Structures are given as C-alpha cells and as structure tokens.
A and B are shown apart, each in its own frame.
Chain A
Amino acid sequence: MAIDSYRFLDFATRQIIKAWVNREVHERRPIPWTPMTRPLAECTVALIATAGVARRDDVPFDQERERQNPWWGDPTYRTIPQGTTEDEVKLYHLHIDPRFGQEDLDVVLPMRRLGELASEGVIGRPADTHYSIMGYQLRPHVLESETATAIAREMKARGVDAAALVPA
C-alpha cells in the first residue's frame, strides 16, 4: 500500500485508527460480493455520502444527543434527491470540516459529476435519489443491521444497479 493513510491525521487520531485497524484485521469477516449484472454504461448508479448531509427541510442528524453522549453517533440516514444543491442541505457531522461540502456539495456527494459521467455515457443514469449517513459510528450495529438494509431495500425498489460510497 503506497498511500499513507495517516498523513493528514493528527497524532491522537492516527493512534486510535491504527488500533482499530489492528483490531479489525484480527476480526476479519467474510467480505460480501455482488457481481455486476450489466455494463456500467447501462447502470443506474446511486451515491452514499457519510458526511451527515441532510436537506434543510428534513430532520437534522441528531447532534445534540451526541453532545450529551459523545460515545453515540446518529445511525439513521437521509435521502438526497439528484439535483439537490448546497443551499438546500446542511452537513451535520461534528468530526469533519463542513465548510468544503457546504461550499461545493460535490466534494462529499458528487451528484453533478455523476450526471456529467452519465452524459458522457460512462454510466447509464444517476439514481433519482442518493443517500447520506453520518459516519461517526463507534458501535455500528444499528447502522449495519437497520440503516444499511433499509438503504439497500430502497435502492432495489428504485431500480439502482450499483452504488458508490463516499466516506468523508
């Protein structure tokens, strides 16, 4: 691995992430695999952002509960329709710098770029709806067992062929 995963992290975060990596490596689980069933140029593609993006007219991610109990992170998800702009959303993630995604939403949820790649014929079309979670999850069991399955169900119902997750 040539990329230095820790280059941009402060010392404390670096040590914590390294401990997590060490733990995960020893708990190694089977990795799921779903093969592509059609050419990418025919696929409907959805995005999942972990930046805690929510539409301003939607329920915010619960920052107050996290402030009360910092071991907890909101495990729910929000839908973001294709074409939503910066002015229509807010980033509710207390562990990342929200300025960049707030200035240009494509930095964390590249819907415009996805539309451009559809115009080029790289993908078939963007999904009508994309998804956002809040990535600070120290105990991800609700995210894994409820949120992820709900998102997957929605994607299937909406005819999504492939999804790309964009961690922030």
Chain B
Amino acid sequence: MIPDFTRAVGVPRLAGIAYPLSRPMGRPGDAHGQREVLRALLGLLVSAQAPDAYVELPYTWPETPAQARKGADVNPPIAQLLARKPWLLPKLYTGEIPDEV
C-alpha cells in the first residue's frame, strides 16, 4: 500500500506492505496469505511500544505493477474532472480543495 503517506499522516501503529491498492490483505481466495498478513498486523498491537511504531511486512506481490493494473476499470470522477479542466490540478497538490465544482 502507501506506508509513506500513512506514516506522514501520523498513526500510532503502522504495518507497511508492498501490495497494490484494492488488495490490502492479499489475493482473493488466498486464505493462508491473508491470515498471515492479519496475524502480523495484529502482532503490532503487542510489539509496538510508542507512537509512530512502524514495521514492514516481508510479503511480496507476485505481479508487476502493469499486471496488477490489468483489467481495472477505475476512472474516478476527480480524474475525469481534471482531464476536462487540467488547470484545477494544482488544487490537489496544495490541498486547497474547493467546496464545489
């Protein structure tokens, strides 16, 4: 996922994992893999001693980024809006989010 961002936001305990978005626990049907991720995540409740505790889980994703994106039909409204009005893009960077379109 994106531990760089989650850690910057400031959470008490964080387990980073090198999995793509939409599949934080692992592949569909991979009960063993999902269970080990959850076991490691909950283990942090025991091992963490202070805020900003961070561990990186040792699991790797079996696909390249291109393979992981294959077949995805994701086109968020904000991406459609910015394709039409690219001059609004800086607002996303700066966080100056408008109330309305």
Chain A interfacial positions (CB closer than 8 Å to B): 1-10, 12, 15-17, 19-21, 23-25, 28-34, 36, 40, 43, 45, 51, 66-71, 94-101, 103-104, 106-108, 110, 112-114, 116-117, 122-123, 136, 138-139, 162, 164-168
Contact = CB atoms under 8 A, between A and B. Distances in A.
A114 to B, nearest CB: 7
Contact of A108 (B24, B27, B74): B24
A165 B45 CA distance: 12
Contacts of B37: 110
Interface centre among A3, A8, A43 (most CB of B within 10 A): A8
A32 B93 contact: no
Interface string B9-42: 1111000111111111111110100110111011
Contact of B1 (A51, A139, A162, A167): A167
Interface of B: 1-12, 16-29, 31, 34-35, 37-39, 41-42, 45-46, 50-52, 54, 56, 61, 65, 68-69, 71-74, 76-81, 92-95, 97-101
Contacts of B51: 31-33
12 contacts: A3-B56, A8-B19, A9-B21, A10-B69, A24-B5, A40-B42, A70-B77, A70-B80, A103-B29, A122-B42, A136-B76, A167-B6
Contacts of B18: 3-4, 7
Contacts, number: 179
B8 A16 contact: no
Contact of A31 (B11, B45, B65): B11
Contacts of A15: 93
Contact of B101 (A6, A69, A110): A69
Nearest to A45: B42
B12 A69 contact: no
Nearest to A161: B45
Given A40-B42, A117-B35, A94 B74 contact: yes
